[in-house]
Every structure is written in structure tokens, then in C-alpha cells.
Amino acid sequence: MIYNYNDDYQYDSCVSQGVCSVNPRTSSLQEVLILYLKLASYYALKLYENGIQDEEIRLQILNTISILVSNFEFSESDFKIITSGFTKILPELIKKYESVCKENDIVPDCLKSILKFKQSSDIIKSIQFGEKEFLKKTKSLSAQTRDLYKILFVLAKSICINVLDLESFGIEDTNGYLSILKLLNSLTITDNEQLKNLIKESADIDNTLMNTLQKAKEDRYGKQQISEVSYSTTPGKAVLVVGSNIRELEDVLEALKGKDIDIYTHDEMILANIFPKFAEYKNLKGQYGQGIENCLLDFATFPGPIILTRHSLYNVKHLYRGLLFTTDFATSKGVIPIKSGDFAEVIKSAENAKGFKTGKQCETVSIGYDYFSLIERVKNCADKYSQIFLIGLGAYTLEQKTYFEKLLAQIPDNILVISLSFCVQRENVICLNACFDTYAITRITTGLNQELNMPVKIFFPKCDRHTISQMIYLSQNENTEIYVGKCTPVMLNPNMMITLKDSFGINSLTSVKKDLESILQT
């Protein structure tokens, strides 16, 4: 059955509590961290160009970007831990660069910085410093340049997630890391055309990383398949695993193997179920809750410890303390760190928690798709249609459901629709449930472009951490047009949408009638 638990519940803690937003205090501290990243990446790239890769600064850069992806509220101790890494490493990094220049008889090209390393000892001064830096950029840069900077940094985050996820599979990708260094170094460029070209190049690299990551998953866990996933709960002690890195879920399952503790997934982690290997774990019970949009309620009602895996997009300041754990580089206030894969505290917490007393029965959800069968099916019927509409992953809000129900009802019969989330029963509509499979829309579009010479209109109903990168990558195909729905401001604000339209031809969804008239005229 294709069903989503969100169909029954429209509470959105992203909106009501700002769980998916960035407050001004955090935003100011992020500005300071970006300055550290710019300085560190400058010297890391200089050394790389001279044949030297500094492992310590590489980890510091990747881990810091990962923290900015996670978007948690910094405590004073958290911020000091992160900045102290830079203040410790950067002086030695600069000395190493100057030494290399001296050895090779090169005049060192050192970067002037307004950062004073001692500022990290006072979080109030750091907040004030970050506010001033933000205001300075607002006054000195054009709106388009500022937005292109934001897009550059979004791409750096997406690439960072993929690089770190690949490393969890034992795969190191130098091109991905080098791309991040170039993106961070470009945050001083004011030539918009140069910035646009770099954005396009980086989106291509990010797509390659996603492709490599998909292969790594299938090599380790088997070819992805259509699977039935339970949303039911059973009586007993339980742990909830949150995020997107299924390699970390495997570590949790191995650590709790043989324990009388059930494991549930949340949000994107449900995708573990499409890989055959995870069916071998008998204590992996299924999916719990409605996902990131409703994490406040989900986390508050789960009767056991919750593990936030790396770069999980959660601001946990509104959430209860004591049962939250993380494997991330740094931890938000009230969250307990998991070090060196030691889950002893998680197990102890689960055993002491109340667990599910009675359980609840819900219908199962059919997720996943067979890529090769889909492409073959489209090839066999392509001569009946003039173009293809590909509808991506949905957030299942009432507004979205209403829009796409109308769209699917009004699309002409000579257009083939492949929908990865929303579904109606029509001869020209192929319904899939790709669930949280971010890469699905890129993979399917690439396959369609290779096999068929037909126009493809792609709809992105929602935004996640990889959406902007994907849209830019796909927009470079002349046979493809991109349309994006309303996104949370932390992902894509209205000003950035204007720049995406002007710079990359990416369109906003408005009303079904207006959008269809515009699309069908092209």
C-alpha cells in the first residue's frame, strides 16, 4: 500500500515552534564560523596546490560545515570547542604554508583577516562581531551576489554531507573536498558570472558524489527494492535513530544485536528498509512518527532514547533533555555525545526508559522503486506522449496535497506523469513512493534524458539539503525545466528564489491554472 503517515496529521513543528529555523543569535555565530572556514580553506587550498593535504584542517573544515548543516543552537561551550579547533590549527597551517613557499622560493600570498583568535573566548563579543559582519555584507554587496554566496554555501553543505557519508563507507573523495575549498574561497569574488560558473561546476561534482554514494550503499547492502515498512509499534524497550546516514544505523543495529531493545527509524532513515541487508536485523521494527516537519511531537512522544546521527537537521532547543544522543562532531545543549562508536549509555538509557507499554497497529507503507523496470516501462509507452512531468518528493502538507491533486487531475492525457510521492489513478500517471530518496529524481531524469529525446518538466514540491544542488545540476540540460514549491526559509528564502530564476532558469510554483498555462505554452 502506498500510504504516508503524514496524511493523517497536519501539525507542523517547523512552523509552529521554529524547529527548522535559525535564530539571530545562532545566525551571528554562524557568520563567525564562516569567517574561520574562509581563512582555513584559503591556506588549505594553497597547500593543496603545492602537493600537501593537511588532514587535521580537512577534518576541521568538514566537521564545522557538518555542524552548520545540523543547525543547532550553540551554547557557549559548544562554540568555544569549535572555534578553539581553528585557533589551534590555523597558526601552524599558516607557518606550514610560509615554510613551503620558502622551500620553493615562492613569495607567500597571505590572506588578511579581520578575525582575532581571542574573540572566541567571549561568546557575546562573537555574536556582536557576527552581526557586524552580516551588516557589512548587506551594505557592500549586491542582492544577487549575496544570494549567490548563499547558494555557494548551500552547495558546500550538500557536498560536505556526501563526502562525509562516503567516508563512512571507507571511500575518500578528493574532488569533493577540493570543491568545498574552492567554494569557500569564492566567498570573496564579486563577479557574478564567475560565481554562477563555479556553482554549476560544483553541482556537477555533487551529482557525481551522490551517484558514488548510491553505488556504495548497493555494494554493501544489496540492490534497492520495493519494500513494505511498518509504522506500528510493539510493546518493549526502544531506540529511535534519526537522520540519513544508514551506515550509522548499521552501527547501532550491530551494537544492540542480541539486546531486548527494538529499533525504530525516523525521517530519511526509513530508506534503510529498501536495502535487503537490513531485513536481517530482527530488532529493526519500522518507522516512527511523521518526520522532520513534526519532530517536536515525534521526539516528545517516543518512550526511549533518540540518536541524532551526523548532520541531522534539527534545532533541539524546544525538545526535552536527557534522552537525546548524537554521533556528531559537536553537540547541542542537553544532547549527550556518542564517542568512538560506544553505545553503552544509549543501551543503559533504553533499559531504564519506560518503552512502549501496549504498542499501536498501523498500516504498512510501500516504499522504493525499481529503476530499471521504470525506465523500460516509460520507453515502451513513450510514443503516446508529447512530454514528461516528473513530480518529486512531497512534504505532504495540506497545501501541497491540494495543489498536486489539482495538477494531476488537470494534466492533459498526452503528457506522461511520473510521480514519486503524490498519486491519482489515471492511465497517464505512474505512481511511485520514493519516500525520502533524494537521489531518485536525478537518477530518473538522467535515465530519461539518455533513453528518450522528450522534454521533461521536473517539480520539486519540497526542499531538502540537496535540492538546490540537484536543481542547478538538472537545469543545465536544455531538454529540462525545473519548478519548485514553497520551501522553509532555512532552505530557500524568497530572495534566493529570485536569483535561482534569474541565474539558472528555475521557476516557482504559483497556482495550478497559471502554472499549467505557462508550462504548456513552452
| Range with lowest mean pLDDT among 179-183, 314-318, 492-496 | 314-318
Give per-residue pLDDT as tens, 60-84: 999 889 877 665 566 677 788 888 8
Q: What is the pLDDT of residue 155?
A: 95
Of the candidates 343, 316, 318, 342, which has an alpha carbon nearest to the alpha carbon of residue 331? 316
User: Which H or E element spans position 484?
Assistant: strand 480-484
Share of the chain above pLDDT 90, in %: 60
Q: What is the pLDDT of residue 179?
A: 96
Q: Which residue has the cell 558514488?
A: 212
The C-alpha cell of 138 is what?
548587506
Top-level class of domain 225-352: alpha beta
What residues have CB less than 8 Å from 200, skipping those under 6 apart? 472, 476
Q: How far apart are CA 178 and CA 170, in angstroms?
A: 18
Using the predicted structure, report yes or no on whether residue 343 has a pLDDT greater than 60. Answer: yes
| Confidence label for 401 from pLDDT (cuts 50, 70 and 90) | confident
| Range with lowest mean pLDDT among 88-102, 304-318, 414-428 | 304-318
Using the predicted structure, report yes or no on whether residue 291 has a pLDDT greater than 80. Answer: no
DSSP state of 461: -
- 3-class state of residue 453 by DSSP: coil
Helix axes 192-221, 246-255, angle to 10 degrees: 30
Using the predicted structure, report yes or no on whether residue 57 has a pLDDT greater than 60. Answer: yes
DSSP state of 278: G
Q: How far apart are CA 35 and CA 30, in angstroms?
A: 9
SS3 content of the chain, % helix, strand, coil (to 5): 55, 10, 35
User: What average pLDDT does the structure give for the chain?
Assistant: 87
Q: What is the pLDDT of residue 137?
A: 82
Mean pLDDT to the nearest integer, 358-373:
91
Q: Which residue has the higher pLDDT, 412 or 15?
A: 412
| Confidence label for 16 from pLDDT (cuts 50, 70 and 90) | very low
Q: Secondary structure of 201-236 in the HEC alphabet?
A: HHHHHHHHHHHHHHHHHHHHHCCCCCEEECCCECCE
Using the predicted structure, report yes or no on whether residue 2 has a pLDDT greater than 50. Answer: no
CATH 3.40.50.2030 fits domain 370-521: yes
| Confidence label for 419 from pLDDT (cuts 50, 70 and 90) | very high
Q: What is the pLDDT of residue 114?
A: 67
Helix axes 494-504, 192-221, angle to 10 degrees: 100
Q: What is the pTM of this model?
A: 0.90
What residues have CB less than 8 Å from 352, skipping those under 6 apart? none
Q: What is the pLDDT of residue 503?
A: 95
Q: How far apart are CA 416 and CA 382, in angstroms?
A: 8
In the chain, domain spans? 19-219, 225-352, 370-521
166 within 8 A of 172, measured Cβ to Cβ: yes
Q: Which residue has the higher pLDDT, 488 or 317?
A: 488
CA–CA distance from 369 to each of 243, 353, 452, 473 (Å)? 21, 37, 20, 22
Give per-residue pLDDT as tens, 504-516: 999 999 999 999 9
Give per-residue pLDDT as tens, 98-133: 999 999 999 998 888 766 655 555 777 888 888 888
Mean pLDDT to the nearest integer, 272-279:
96
Q: How far apart are CA 126 and CA 118, in angstroms?
A: 10
Q: What is the pLDDT of residue 8?
A: 40
Using the predicted structure, report yes or no on whether residue 15 has a pLDDT greater than 90. Answer: no
Give per-residue pLDDT as tens, 311-328: 875 556 556 556 889 888
Q: Do the two domains 225-352 and 370-521 of this chain adopt the same fold?
A: yes
Give per-residue pLDDT as tens, 255-275: 999 999 999 999 899 999 999
User: Which H or E element spans position 516?
Assistant: helix 512-521
| Range with lowest mean pLDDT among 4-8, 259-263, 460-464 | 4-8
Share of the chain above pLDDT 70, in %: 89
Give per-residue pLDDT as tens, 20-50: 555 677 778 888 888 899 999 999 999 999 9
